[in-house]
Amino acid sequence: MSTEKLYYQDTYMCKFTAKVNKRDIDEKGQYVVLEQTAFYPTGGGQPYDTGNISGVKVYDVEEVDGEIRHYIESPLELGEIYSGKIDWDRRFDHMQQHAGQHILSAAFEDHFGYKTVSFHLGKEVCSIDLAIDSLNDREANQVESIANQITMENRSIETKWVSEQEAANYPLRKDLSVNENIRLVIIPNFDYNGCGGTHPNATGQVGAIKILNWEKQKKKLRLYFVCGNRVMQQLDQNHKVMRQLTDLFNAPQKQLVEVGRQTLQQTKDLEKSIDELKAQLMEHEADELINDAKSYPQYQLVQAIFQQRPMTEVQYLAKTVAMKMKDCIVTMVNQTDQKTQIVCATSEEVTIDANVLLKNVLPLIEGKGGGTASFAQGGGNKKVSSEQMLQAFADHLREM
C-alpha cells in the first residue's frame, strides 16, 4: 500500500487531506502512513519536511521499507481523514538550497571540469565536496558569477518521468541510482540529473547563490555556500558584526584589516615592554635579597617566602641571585592555594649540592622534585608553614 507522493505532482503544495492507512511505533517514535502526502521524506541530500496533521506536530518524515512514515507527537486514528500542512518556509528554503546546488555543481563541472561528489544541506550553510585538491579565488568567482547568471535568466526547471532507455538519451551528469520510475530534473541546455528532490519550477526562485569559503579535506575540497533567503541572512549577520567592529575600532570598513593588524602589533610590543620591565623589577628584587643575605663561614644564605607567585618568577629570582652573588645558597618557598613549592639554587663557588639539599627537606611536605647540583625544585602539600620550611633548609645546611 504505497503512498501517493503529492510533492512530485505539485512541488508547491503545502496543504492536503489524506486518510491514515497505518499507525505504528518504531525506534524513532510513533508514526502514521497516509494514503497520500505532500510531506517530503529525507532523501537525495534534502532534509525532511516538518508541519502538522490536523494540528498534531510532524517532527520527522522518513521513507522506510517503501512507506513514508510521518513521526507525530500524539496519536491519530486509523482510517480517519485528516488535513496535513507542511512548514512552507522550511520546505521552500530546502528547495532554494537544493536547486542552487544543482546550478552551482553544473557550473563547476561545465566550466572547469570539477565534479561534485556529495552535497550536504546544513541548518545554516550548505556544502558540496568537489573531486579536486585546490581552488583559487578567480575560479570560485567565475563559477559564482555563472551560477547567478543562470539564476537571473529565470530558466525553467522541469521534471520528467522516464524509462531507463529514455534516460539514456539525456546528457546526465552521473549514473542513475534506480533503473525504473526514473525522475529527471532538467534545466534545459544546462543541467540534466536523475533526482528525487523538490525544486522550484524556475531558477529565478533560487534568488542568489553565494560561495562562502572552502577547505581541503583529504582527497577532496569542501566548498560552503548559501542560496536564496540564506544569502540575506548571511549578509545581515556579517553586516551586524561589521558594524560592531567599525564602532569598536572607530574606523571605516575598508581600513578594518589594517587597523586590526596594527592593534595586534601594538599588543605584541606592549607585551615585550612588560616583559622587559618585569625583568628589571626582578633584578632589583634580587639585589634586595642579596642585601639581606645572612653570612656564614662557608657561604652566604639568601632565603625568601612568596605567596601565589608564578613558579617561573621564583625560578628566575633564585637563579639570578645565585649568579650575581659569590658563595651563595638560595632557598625559596612559594605557597599556592593547593601546594607548597620550593626551589634551591647555589652559586658556582659553593660545594653544597642543591639537589641533595632539596631532597633532604622534601619529606616534610611529602613532595616530589629534583634537579642539578646548582638548581633544584619540587612541590608537595601545605602541612608545614613556609617559615618552618626555610628553617629546615637552614638546619640541613648546617649538617652538610
Applying CB under 5 A, the residues found at the interface with Zn ion are 185, 195, 197
Smallest gap from Cβ 185 to Zn ion, in A, equals 5
Smallest gap from Cβ 46 to Zn ion, in A, equals 7
C-alpha span between 56 and 66 (Å, rounded): 23
Smallest gap from Cβ 196 to Zn ion, in A, equals 7
Smaller CB separation from Zn ion, 70 or 199:
199
Is the alpha carbon torsion for 53, 59, 60, 66 positive or negative?
negative
Other Cβ atoms less than 10 A from the Cβ of 46: the count is 22
CA 219 to chain centre: 21
Smaller CB separation from Zn ion, 197 or 369:
197
Smaller CB separation from Zn ion, 39 or 393:
39
What does the longest C-alpha to C-alpha distance in the chain come to?
107
Smallest gap from Cβ 19 to Zn ion, in A, equals 29
CB 147 within 8 A of CB 206: no
Smaller CB separation from Zn ion, 185 or 293:
185
**Closest to 208 (Cα-Cα) out of 103, 106, 294, 90:** 103
Smaller CB separation from Zn ion, 72 or 185:
185
Smaller CB separation from Zn ion, 195 or 301:
195
Smallest gap from Cβ 271 to Zn ion, in A, equals 54
CB 124 within 8 A of CB 227: no
Smaller CB separation from Zn ion, 41 or 197:
197
Helix (H) or strand (E) holding 26: strand 15-26
DSSP three-state, residue 256: helix
Q: Which three cell numbers stand for residue 39?
A: 510531506
CA 72 to chain centre: 32
Smallest gap from Cβ 38 to Zn ion, in A, equals 17
Other Cβ atoms less than 10 A from the Cβ of 337: the count is 7
Give the residue at shortest CB distance from Zn ion: 195
C-alpha span between 129 and 212 (Å, rounded): 14
Smallest gap from Cβ 11 to Zn ion, in A, equals 11
Smaller CB separation from Zn ion, 132 or 185:
185
Specify burial of residue 357 (Cβ count, 10 A radius: 0-12, 13-18, 19+): buried
Smallest gap from Cβ 200 to Zn ion, in A, equals 11
Side chain identity at residue 304, one-letter code: A
Specify burial of residue 218 (Cβ count, 10 A radius: 0-12, 13-18, 19+): exposed
